[in-house]
C-alpha cells in the first residue's frame, strides 16, 4: 500500500498580511497568503533544498524558509559522504538540526539521498571490497539512516541518478561491485527500516519522453512487477529558459507513470536564465512561465504530490559553482525579494 502523506496545517495560515522581516528595518513583501498555504489547499507539498551555511548563519533565510515552504530537503546533509567521514562513524548534527527545524515549523522532510554514485566517503571509494562487503556496507548505511529518522522523514530519494542519458545503467561503485540488483535491494532495505516512508527513484532529464525516461519507466515497471516497494519517481527538473521543456511530453510521461501506480514529485526544480535571449526582465518572465507550466501540470495530474525547488534564493544555487557562470534560477533574488516566478506559482496555486 502506498504510504499517505499529510501536508499539515501550519501556524502561518492566518498570516494574511504577508511576510514581514525586520532586517535593517526593511520589510519584504511576499504574497498575502504564502506558497505553503496555497499548496496545502491544493493537496501538494511545496519545498526547497536547504544549505547548511545559510541555515545556520542567516535568520532571514530561516524565516522565508518556514513561512513559504512546507517541505524541506537537506541539500547535502544526508549524503553518505557528509554523514560518514570514517567507517562506522556517523555525524548527524546538521541533519538533526534541519529535521528539528522542520518539525518545529510543521514541514515535511524529503530525505536526499541514500544511494548515489557521487558524494561517497573516501573510506568507501578508496577501499577494495568484495561483493558481500559492499552489500553489507550499503545495507548498514540505509538501515542506520532510515531507522534513525523513522516516522520523521516522510519521503526518501532511495536511489539517485542510476541511469545515464542513453538509458543504460550508470557506472558506479554499486553497479560494479554489487550488480544491477543493488537498486531493488536498496528499496527493500529502506522499506524495512521505515515502512511508512514514501520511496522514490530520483533523476534528472527524465521528465520528457526520451531514452532516459523510457529506462526509468521500465525500471519502475519491473520493480513494481517484482513487488519491490517503490512509490514515486522524482523528476529533478534542472531547466533553462534557452530550452524550455516540452510540456506535452511531460504530461504524457506523468500519465504513464501514474498508470503504473506511482506518484511523481518535482524534486529539484530550478530554471537557469544565463544563456537565454532578451532583457533581464524578459528572461525572468520566461523563467516564470516555465515554473508556472510545470506547476500547472503537477496540479492537473492525479499523481504529482510535491513541487520542490533546488535552493531558496538565487545566491544559494549550485549552478554558478558548477557551470562556472552567474545565474538566477530560483524563486527569490539574493535580497529575498520574490521574483516573477514566485508570483507565477502564487497565481497558478490560487486558481
- Which sequence positions are flagged as catalytic? 161, 268
Is residue 318 within the footprint of ligand G3I (CB under 6 A)? yes
Residue nearest to ligand G3I according to CB distances in the complex: 318
Phi and psi angles of residue 305, each rounded to the nearest 5 degrees, phi first = -110, -10
Q: Which is nearer to ligand G3I, 268 or 314 (CB)?
A: 268
Q: Which is nearer to ligand G3I, 40 or 160 (CB)?
A: 160
Q: How many residues bind ligand G3I (CB under 6 A)?
A: 10
Q: Which is nearer to ligand G3I, 69 or 318 (CB)?
A: 318
Which residues from 204-243 bind ligand G3I, rule CB under 6 A? 236
- Residue 132 in 3-state DSSP? helix
Residues sharing a CB contact under 8 Å with residue 145, sequence separation 6 or more, in sequence order: 78, 83, 90, 111, 114
Q: How far apart are CA 39 and CA 283, in angstroms?
A: 25
What is the 8-class DSSP label of residue 94?
H
- Residue 68 in 3-state DSSP? helix
Work out the angle at residue 197's Cα, subtended by the Cα atoms of residues 169 and 120, and round it to the nearest 5 degrees. Answer: 45
Q: How far apart are CA 142 and CA 28, in angstroms?
A: 41
Q: Chain-centre distance of CA 34, in angstroms?
A: 20
Q: Which is nearer to ligand G3I, 52 or 299 (CB)?
A: 52
Q: Which is nearer to ligand G3I, 37 or 206 (CB)?
A: 206
Q: Are 230 and 260 in contact (CB under 8 A)?
A: no
Q: How far apart are CA 236 and CA 238, in angstroms?
A: 6
- Locus of grid cell 547535502: 76
Residue 46 Cβ vs ligand G3I, minimum distance, rounded to whole Å: 19
Q: Are 120 and 80 in contact (CB under 8 A)?
A: yes
DSSP per-residue letters across 162-183: -B-TTSSBPP-HHHHHT-TTHH
Q: Are 186 and 143 in contact (CB under 8 A)?
A: no
* Peptide bond preceding 157 in cis form (omega within 30 of 0): no
Q: Which is nearer to ligand G3I, 157 or 348 (CB)?
A: 157
- Locus of grid cell 519507466: 217
33 CB neighbour count, 10 Å cutoff: 18
Is residue 327 within the footprint of ligand G3I (CB under 6 A)? no
Which residues from 155-184 bind ligand G3I, rule CB under 6 A? 160
Residue 237 Cβ vs ligand G3I, minimum distance, rounded to whole Å: 10
Q: Which is nearer to ligand G3I, 77 or 135 (CB)?
A: 77
Is residue 75 within the footprint of ligand G3I (CB under 6 A)? yes
Is residue 314 within the footprint of ligand G3I (CB under 6 A)? no
Residue 123 Cβ vs ligand G3I, minimum distance, rounded to whole Å: 17
Q: Are 237 and 290 in contact (CB under 8 A)?
A: no
Residue 311 Cβ vs ligand G3I, minimum distance, rounded to whole Å: 7
Contacting residue, 58, 94, 268, 327, with ligand G3I by CB under 6 A: 268
Contacting residue, 40, 70, 76, 287, with ligand G3I by CB under 6 A: 76
Which residues from 95-124 bind ligand G3I, rule CB under 6 A? 118-119
- Locus of grid cell 517503490: 230
Binding window for ligand G3I (CB under 6 A); candidates: 63-71, 75-83, 186-194, 226-234: 75-83
Residue 319 Cβ vs ligand G3I, minimum distance, rounded to whole Å: 8
Residue 182 Cβ vs ligand G3I, minimum distance, rounded to whole Å: 18
Residue 204 Cβ vs ligand G3I, minimum distance, rounded to whole Å: 6
Binding window for ligand G3I (CB under 6 A); candidates: 30-38, 72-80, 142-150, 248-256: 72-80
Interaction site with ligand G3I (CB under 6 A)? 75-76, 79, 118-119, 160, 236, 268, 318, 322
Amino acid at each position: 500500500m502506498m504510504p499517505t502523506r499529510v501536508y499539515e496545517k501550519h501556524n502561518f495560515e492566518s498570516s494574511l498580511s504577508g511576510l514581514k522581516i525586520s532586517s535593517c528595518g526593511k520589510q519584504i513583501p511576499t504574497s498575502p497568503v504564502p506558497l505553503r498555504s496555497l499548496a496545502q489547499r491544493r493537496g501538494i507539498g511545496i519545498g526547497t533544498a536547504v544549505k547548511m551555511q545559510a541555515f545556520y548563519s542567516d535568520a532571514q533565510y530561516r524565516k522565508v524558509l518556514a513561512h513559504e515552504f512546507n517541505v524541506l530537503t537537506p541539500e547535502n546533509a544526508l549524503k553518505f559522504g557528509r554523514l560518514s567521514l570514517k567507517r562506522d562513524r556517523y555525524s548527524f548534527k546538521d541533519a538533526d538540526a534541519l529535521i528539528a527545524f522542520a518539525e518545529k515549523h510543521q514541514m515535511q522532510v524529503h530525505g536526499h539521498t541514500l544511494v548515489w554514485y557521487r558524494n561517497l566517503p573516501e573510506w568507501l571509494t578508496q577501499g577494495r571490497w568484495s561483493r558481500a562487503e559492499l552489500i553489507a556496507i550499503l545495507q548498514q548505511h540505509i538501515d542506520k539512516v532510515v531507522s534513525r529518522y523513522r516516522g520523521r522523514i516522510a519521503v526518501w530519494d532511495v536511489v539517485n541518478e542510476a541511469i545515464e542519458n542513453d538509458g543504460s545503467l550508470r557506472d558506479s561503485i554499486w553497479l560494479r561491485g554489487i550488480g544491477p540488483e543493488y537498486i531493488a535491494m536498496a528499496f527493500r532495505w529502506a522499506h524495512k527500516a521505515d515502512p511508512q516512508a514514501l520511496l522514490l527513484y530520483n533523476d534528472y532529464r527524465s521528465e520528457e519522453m526520451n531514452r532516459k525516461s523510457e529506462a526509468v519507466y521500465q525500471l519502475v515497471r519491473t520493480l513494481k512487477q517484482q513487488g519491490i516497494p517503490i512509490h514515486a519517481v522524482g523528476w529533478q527538473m534542472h531547466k533553462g529558459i534557452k530550452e524550455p521543456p516540452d510540456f506535452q511530453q511531460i504530461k504524457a510521461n506523468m500519465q504513464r507513470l501514474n498508470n503504473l501506480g506511482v506518484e511523481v514529485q518535482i524534486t529539484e526544480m530550478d530554471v537557469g536564465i544565463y544563456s537565454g535571449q532578451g532583457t533581464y526582465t524578459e528572461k525572468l518572465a520566461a523563467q516564470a512561465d516555465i515554473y508556472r507550466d510545470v506547476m500547472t501540470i503537477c496540479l492537473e495530474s492525479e499523481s504529482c504530490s510535491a513541487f520542490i525547488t533546488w535552493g531558496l534564493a538565487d545566491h544559494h544555487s549550485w549552478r554558478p559553482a558548477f557551470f562556472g557562470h552567474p545565474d538566477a534560477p530560483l524563486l527569490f533574488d539574493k535580497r529575498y525579494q520574490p521574483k516573477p516566478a514566485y508570483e507565477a506559482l502564487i497565481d497558478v496555486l490560487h486558481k
